[in-house]
Amino acid sequence: MKKTLLSLISTIGIPRIIIAGFLTFLLITAFVLGVDVNRLLSDSLVRIGRNGLFVLALLPTLKAGVGLNFGLSLGAICGLIGLVLGLELGITGINHILLALVIGVLLAVIIGYIYGVLLNQTKGQEMMVGNYIGFATVSLMCTFWLLAPFRNPTLVWAIGGRGLRTTLVLPGETSQIIDNFLSFSFFGLNIPTGTFVLFFLSCLLLYFFFKTRSGLSMVAVGSNPVFARASGIKENTIRIQSVVLSTVLAAFGMIIFAQSFGFVQLYMAPLMLPFPAIACILIGGASLRKATLLHVIIGTALFQTLLTITLPVVTQVVAISGEAGDITEVLRVIISNGLILYALTRKGGD
Amino acid sequence: MKRIIEITKDNPIPVLFLIICLFGLWIAELPLPIFINDLIARLSRNTFLVLSLIIPIVVGLGLNFALVTGAMAGQIGAITVIELGIKGLQGFLVACLIAVPLAIIFGYLLGKLFNIAKGREMITGFITGFFANGVYQFIFLFLIGTALIPFKDKTILLPQGWGIRSVVDLFNIQYAIDSILIFRIPVGRYLLSVPLSTFIIIFILCLAINYFLKTKLGQEFKAIGQEPHVSLVYGINVDKNRILATIISIALAAIGQLIFLQNLGTVNTYASHEQVALFSIAALLVGGATVKKATVSNALLGVLLFHSIFIISPQAGQKLFGQPQVGEYFRVFVAYGVIAFSLATHTFQERVAKK
């Protein structure tokens, strides 16, 4: 009995037990204090749907042994370009999403390919190089948002008539179109069905992809490069494929994120985007050597719920002034970076 | 002419940035005395911090992205001195006395971490910087002013009674070092001020680093950086020396941040330290340093070029595109871009060398 319990604990993992315990504690506190628990859970569900694809985007590169994709923002920028072009042309509703998808994915394939080639040249330091390529691209794109010839008066600054605004509002027809698709209430919980269906569909597609020939070779390259080379798998090509797949998923993720959020945030907004996603997959139990779909789903659910419900509950207990920042933000920074550090310093990355 | 080509071949990055600088200066049409005055101030503020990066590179740890932990120690010192109400040079020295021991502890822990994460030192340091920043925010926002860390000075606390304000006036220690020996040179309508005392301290540090690298310990550091495995065979304690190098770097960064703050006269409690690693590392790389090799002259040249670009670019952006923000984003891009480029070329060369 004791043995099975111990093995159960080690399968689930102590970090997840602690966080799940903390979440339960927060929810009970919220209930006792009379905070609207349904509302908290509904908000959590929205956030999980919103961020799931970014976390999923990390899976291919981890599987192929390229490591954590710190350059996730590259893909996100491709998605942003698609969204902004739709806004500029005045296309709304589902067509807007589809146009953004086509443009975003096309760009992501090109950018992902170049990024993948670069990462192949810098084997061993992919994470650091990817991180700074991401940072450099985000800051370079800032000049693009400022100087590109966008003319739509609802998008550019009112004064001077040039340069996109930092935050663009999505029109009502586009905003939450996927979230609201088939959405329903369940015991007072609002379920953003469309986004969830898309997320799980993407997970399922990736699951089947890893059963195909190229998916299996990706896993082989990641888990045993020597064996992969011996069986004639082209390691570098496979690695590039994983990076392209990751970048495309990130572009897709950005579009889903924006439609759910209702705003398109430009300039330095995508800079730190990879970090919460990385924290999610690590909280789910992934390591540099091993990552599965289950890690993606569990991690996203735990971390996003934690972020959503901490602040409302904590503010009920202690009054915190908003002048210099809130405690959730600080907690997010400590937990997410603490987890990344933990993953980096484990022996051999296991 | 032949000599120019040779120099360009040996130092492509500094030459490239020299050209960008000259082009920017020509475009921006800044009055030269204003530019030089600003540059002198920036040199006195930032050079010490950039110099603190050299030792870890020599020992083979790469670029120390965790420099921010040193800067935090410096800020803890500065803010404590305000609370204690000690003024002037005395205040600055007390701040150092608080900051350096803290920095030594941080450096020791960081060095331990680097030894666990061998081969991934840079990304580990980078993430440690973020992590430490979170802890720092937690302490400064939620613990200071409570029973745990009682602070009395109401002017630096948030109105609620706990947590430090986001901007703290450092009038106590402003110009504590700069004003020891300062020259004011009138140039036409402008007044150039040269804080000679600060530059003397920077000069002493330059000499100290060069001297240190010639000592036995310095030679060991170099050996570890070049041939870690051979050093181990020769009986050099690699792990211990790596920790020592990290401690030196972080302690110097703490003093560097205090020099930076005494010149500015205010501290953004939650922001002043965040960009320290980014801008210092970018400056060093612009000066021609690499992940494996850095000298005092790289640091000096780098600060000069990088901060020239920093001063010029908003004005140049205004003149070229009618928008100063273009220049502001451009200089951020320069900082990130030069780091990305250096990391990529370094790894690429390592791979080629291995084959």
B138–A330 CB contact, under 8 Å: yes
A62, A68 contact by CB (below 8 A):
yes
Structure tokens that stand for A12 in this block: 């689930």
The more confidently predicted of residues A45 and B351 is A45
Q: Which domains does chain A have, with CATH numbers?
A: 14-349 (1.10.3470)
| Chain B residues 241-280 within an 8 A CB cutoff of chain A | 269-270
Distance in angstroms (rounded) separating the CA atoms of residues B251 and B273: 14
The amino acid at residue B170 is: L
Q: Does B350 touch chain A (CB under 8 A)?
A: yes
pLDDT value at B257 more than 90? yes
Q: What is the pLDDT of residue A319?
A: 58
Structure tokens that stand for B193 in this block: 């001020």
Neighbour tally for B240: CB within 10 Å = 12
Q: Does B325 touch chain A (CB under 8 A)?
A: yes
Q: Which of B277, B236, B336, B96 is nearest to A271 (CA)?
A: B336
Give the mean model confidence (pLDDT) for residues A303-315: 81
Distance in angstroms (rounded) separating the CA atoms of residues B15 and B26: 17
Supply the pTM of this predicted model: 0.88
| Chain B residues 96-115 within an 8 A CB cutoff of chain A | 113
Instruction: Decide if domain B11-354 falls under CATH 1.25.40.
Output: no
Q: What is the pLDDT of residue A252?
A: 92
Structure tokens that stand for A87 in this block: 């806004």
Contacts 24+ apart (CB under 8 A), B162-167: B163/A321, B163/A324, B164/A324, B164/B79, B164/B140, B164/B269, B165/A323, B165/A324, B165/B269, B166/A323, B166/A324, B166/B268, B166/B269, B166/B270, B166/B271, B167/B266, B167/B267, B167/B268, B167/B269
Q: Which of A76, A26, A22 is nearest to A53 (CA)?
A: A76
Residues in contact with A234: Cβ distance below 8 Å, sequence separation at least 6, in sequence order: none
A143–B333 CB contact, under 8 Å: yes
Averaged confidence pLDDT in chain B: 89
Q: What is the pLDDT of residue B76?
A: 93
A287, A350 contact by CB (below 8 A):
yes
Residues B20-74 pLDDT 10s: 889 888 888 888 888 999 999 999 999 999 999 999 999 999 999 999 999 999 9
Residues B289-300 pLDDT 10s: 988 889 999 999
A345–B165 CB contact, under 8 Å: no
State which of A161-165, B48-52, B342-346 shows the largest mean pLDDT.
B48-52
Structure tokens that stand for B76 in this block: 């803890």
A348 → chain B, closest CA residue: B117
A331 → chain B, closest CA residue: B134
- Burial level of B39, CB count in 10 A (0-12/13-18/19+)? middle
Q: Which of A125, A325, A344 has the CB atom closest to B127's CB atom?
A: A344
Q: What is the pLDDT of residue A5?
A: 76
Residues B83-117 pLDDT 10s: 888 888 999 999 999 999 999 999 999 999 999 98
Residues A112-148 pLDDT 10s: 999 999 999 888 888 889 999 999 999 999 989 888 8
Q: What is the pLDDT of residue A1?
A: 62
The amino acid at residue B174 is: Q
Residues B221-256 pLDDT 10s: 999 988 888 887 888 889 999 999 999 999 999 999
Q: Which of B131, B326, B351 has the CB atom closest to A337's CB atom?
A: B131
Neighbour tally for B222: CB within 10 Å = 16
Distance in angstroms (rounded) separating the CA atoms of residues B34 and B191: 9
pLDDT value at A322 more than 70? no
B155, B167 contact by CB (below 8 A):
no
> Is residue A94 classed as helix, strand or coil in its secondary structure?
helix
B282 → chain A, closest CA residue: A132
CA distance A341 to chain B (A): 6
Question: Where on the phi/psi map is residue B147: left (φ > 0), alpha (ψ -120 to 50), or beta?
Answer: alpha
Q: Does B123 touch chain A (CB under 8 A)?
A: yes
- Phi and psi angles of residue A35, each rounded to the nearest 5 degrees, phi first: -75, 145
A142, B329 contact by CB (below 8 A):
yes
ipTM of the modeled complex: 0.85
Q: Does A337 touch chain B (CB under 8 A)?
A: yes
A272, A72 contact by CB (below 8 A):
no
A131–B158 CB contact, under 8 Å: no
Structure tokens that stand for B299 in this block: 């640091």
Q: Does B351 touch chain A (CB under 8 A)?
A: yes
Residues A190-207 pLDDT 10s: 788 888 888 999 999 999
A324–B141 CB contact, under 8 Å: yes
B317 → chain A, closest CA residue: A143
CA distance B343 to chain A (A): 6
Question: Number of H helices and number of E strands within chain B?
Answer: 14, 4
CB contacts, 8 Å: A315 with chain B: none
- Burial level of A346, CB count in 10 A (0-12/13-18/19+)? middle
Report the sign of the C-alpha dihedral through residues A330, A249, A108, A192, in that order: negative
Q: Does A319 touch chain B (CB under 8 A)?
A: yes
pLDDT value at B347 more than 90? no
Residue with tokens 């027809």: A173
A146–B325 CB contact, under 8 Å: yes
The more confidently predicted of residues A212 and A232 is A212
- DSSP per-residue string spanning B149-169: B----GGGB-TTSSSB-SEEE
Q: What is the pLDDT of residue A350?
A: 45
Residues in contact with A176: Cβ distance below 8 Å, sequence separation at least 6, in sequence order: A192, A259, A260, A262
Structure tokens that stand for B278 in this block: 């980014």
Would strands A167-169 and A263-265 be described as parallel, antiparallel, or unpaired?
antiparallel
CB contacts, 8 Å: B126 with chain A: 128, 131
> Is residue B86 classed as helix, strand or coil in its secondary structure?
coil
Q: What is the pLDDT of residue A321?
A: 47
B134–A163 CB contact, under 8 Å: no
Residues of chain A above pLDDT 90, percent: 28
Residues in contact with A171: Cβ distance below 8 Å, sequence separation at least 6, in sequence order: A87, A92, A96
Distance in angstroms (rounded) separating the CA atoms of residues B261 and B75: 8
